[in-house]
Structure 1
Amino acid sequence: MLALSWAKSAAASAVGGQHFRFNWLLPAFAALALSGCMPVTTQVASADPADPAAKVARVGYRSTIAPYTSLRPATPAPWRDRNDAVTPQPKQDR
């Protein structure tokens, strides 16, 4: 990508007068490249991971299927009784 921006800058400067648009690309890419070389200044963890006496939070276990109860084998009810249980009641004539 850096080579592409340099090529665009060279083409724009060859045309003349348009190279000012690409002048910000070189410092931007230089800052981006040098930012990878900077040391980390913030501490990632408060305790040393190699310290065996470091206090850590307890590990808890929660089952993802805890409320599940198996419904098989279930004896099927007669279909007519189940159908009548969910059928709307007939309306009374006024």
Structure 2
Amino acid sequence: MITLLGAEFAAASTARGRHFLSSCLLAAAALALTGCIPATTYVATADPADPAAKVAAAGYRSTIAPYTGLRPAAPAPWRDRNDAVTPQPKQDR
């Protein structure tokens, strides 16, 4: 059983080695051919130097538009404000 596993591992290792070698050769060929590709390619878009080129409209949205100032505010007496938020005592007791 162990001999069979060793043989399978050796066969897979050999196949993996051939695959690695072919991958390296393919990568080397790709690197060699990248020198043949021009650095810039022409893309059919509008010329940025053309003043008549259509562009998206620029809009302005204020980041603080919903803000409303709350100062100066006249301070209310603290006892009235405190009594307004305290729970009312139950009348049953």
- Asked if these proteins are the same fold (TM beyond 0.5), I'd say yes
Correspondence list, 1:15-26, <5 A: 19-20=17-18, 22-23=20-21, 24-26=23-25
Kindly provide the CA deviation profile for residues 56-75 of structure 1, in whole angstroms up to 9, marking residues without a partner as x.
22211000000111112222
**1:67 and 2:66 equivalent?**
yes
Where do 4+ consecutive residues of structure 1 move more than 6 Å? Answer: none
Q: Percent identity?
A: 68
**Which segments of 5 or more consecutive residues in structure 1 lack a partner in the other structure?**
1-16
Higher normalized helix content (fraction of residues): 2
| Distance in 2 (alpha carbons) for counterparts of 1:68 and 1:74 | 16
Q: Which has the higher contact order (CA 8 A, sep 6+)?
A: 1
SS of the equivalent of 2:52 reads: coil
**Which segments of 5 or more consecutive residues in structure 2 lack a partner in the other structure?**
1-13
- TM superposition shift of 1:42: 5.1
Amino acid at match of 1:80: R
Q: TM-score if structure 2 supplies the norm length?
A: 0.56
**Number of positions where the alignment pairs a residue of Structure 1 with one of Structure 2:** 76
